[in-house]
Amino acid sequence: MNADAGRIRSAPDEGCASVSATVSSAPAGASVVIALLPIMAAVSIAFLIIGIALPVLPLHVHQDLGLSTFTVGLVAGSQFVASLMSRVWAGNYADSRGAKRAVVAGLLTAVVGGLLYLTSLQFLDLPRLSVTILLLGRAVLGMAESLIITGAVSWGLTLLAPANAGRVIAWIGMAMFAALAVGAPIGSALYQAGGFKAIAIVTALVPFAAILFVAPLACSPPQRGKRPALLKVAALVWMPGFGSALSSIGFGVMIAFSSLLSIERQWHPIWLLFSIFSGSLVIARLLLGQIPDKFGGARVALVSVVIEAGGLALIWLVPGQTMGAVGAILTGFGFALVYPGLGVEAVRRTPPQSRGLAMGAYTAFLDVALGLGSPALGLIAGWAGLDSVFLAAALIVLGAAFIAIRLLHETPSGIAG
């Protein structure tokens, strides 16, 4: 490979290095991975703490605290509500203060979330108080997640040209979901060995490892240029964001209800569906992450949402674990490229100096869907049974296909940079 390929050039600027990736004769995919690998590693470490809690939070709330499926959905969705409330601020922070600083701030915030998890365990004999503190911890982790992922994507978009936006979004997301997939069985093992206390301790400690990893990396200064107002950016990205929100309902169902469905149907291990879903997503992004850049984000998203909806419908329809696992594979494979596909449509509508804000606004639509959708699906589960939420999610996900079709026939306005 040419010695200049993937080289990172640094120059001091307000205490932060000006970083850009120069891709020359190396294959585009290889050079993109080289440039993104350190950021991906940091994201993986950070999101491990979220992954370990996903399969056991429903068990802790429903079994240890004896609370309802609606409360399970509320606890699962509270992180996304907090992410929604902080997402635009996180994007502005990454644009104005630098992406690396946003990532480090998110990691420090995650430590606080772990400490709140520990505090909630001091009140197990008062379930409502315990779950209230747990909800606060989830909210703090939502703020942390917002800073980390928005900062990481903004960092990657600064390193690489806009033509690689799909790969940046896909592969940083792949790092996130790889951590979620690995974290699920680790979390189940920790829960069996030490209960939710073990989860809380790990949640408080692991972010320090990510901070040590991130600290030596060169960072990028704020992008120069006049930044458009939030409402203008939101107007540019609302349609891709709405499509992503509809698609993300499938993700929310897998987070909040796949382990409970496995218990109801006596499928073991209970984390299998979510890990298969996450593993399928990771593989799809690893092998096909460049597809949205090559064939167009809306076109790829259209095909992907149909696959995702089919997977969710299969989980609802079949009683056997093997076919349920096939449904989880299809759901993960389909969901994998919707977010980066529609993310490409969002990025190409916004100027470089506001891409952190644009990604914050774009991802906020996903947060709305997960924050409101998870409790709503919890109500459906209590009324019509756990399996019914997978059918409901499949129908909602299909709505994203109509958004993708409209984007295919639309020439975006207001594009800059």
> Is residue 13 scored above 80 in pLDDT?
no
- Sorted by where each starts, the structural domains of the chain and their CATH numbers stand as 7-408 (1.20.1250.20)
Contact between 257 and 381 (Cβ < 8 Å): yes
Integer CA distances (angstroms), 165 to 74, 91, 94, in order: 33, 16, 17
Q: Which two tokens stand for residue 157?
A: 């978009």
Q: Please identify which residue in the block is written with the tokens 């992406």.
A: 99
φ and ψ at 19, to 5 degrees?
-115, 135
**Dist CA 262 CA 327 (whole Å):** 13
Chain centre to alpha carbon of residue 155? 16
d(CA 194, CA 191): 5
pLDDT at 116: 95
Nearest to 279 by CA among 328, 340, 342: 328
Taking a C-beta distance cutoff of 8 angstroms, is the pair 325, 276 a contact? yes
Comparing 57-61, 170-174, 284-288, the range with the smallest average pLDDT is: 170-174
Output the pLDDT for position 76.
Answer: 74
Highest mean pLDDT (candidates 59-68, 173-182, 311-320):
311-320
Neighbours of 111 (CB within 10 A): 18
* Three-state helix/strand/coil letters over 50-86: HHHHCCCHHHHHHHHCCCCHHHHHHHHHHHHHHHHHH
Q: What is the mean pLDDT of the chain?
A: 80
For residue 221, whether the previous peptide bond is cis, meaning omega lies within 30 degrees of 0, is no
Asked if 336 and 280 touch (Cβ cutoff 8 Å), the reply is: yes
- pLDDT tier at 1, thresholds 50, 70, 90: very low
Instruction: Identify which has the larger pLDDT, 229 or 136.
Output: 136
Which carries the bigger pLDDT value, residue 374 or residue 394? 394
For residues 238 and 141, give the distance between their C-alpha atoms in angstroms, rounded to a whole number: 25
Cis peptide before 58 (omega within 30 of 0): no
Range 86-91 average pLDDT:
80
Q: How far apart are CA 94 and CA 356, in angstroms?
A: 6
Residue 201 scores a pLDDT above 80:
yes
* Gap between the Cα atoms of 313 and 387, Å rounded: 10
Neighbours of 301 (CB within 10 A): 32
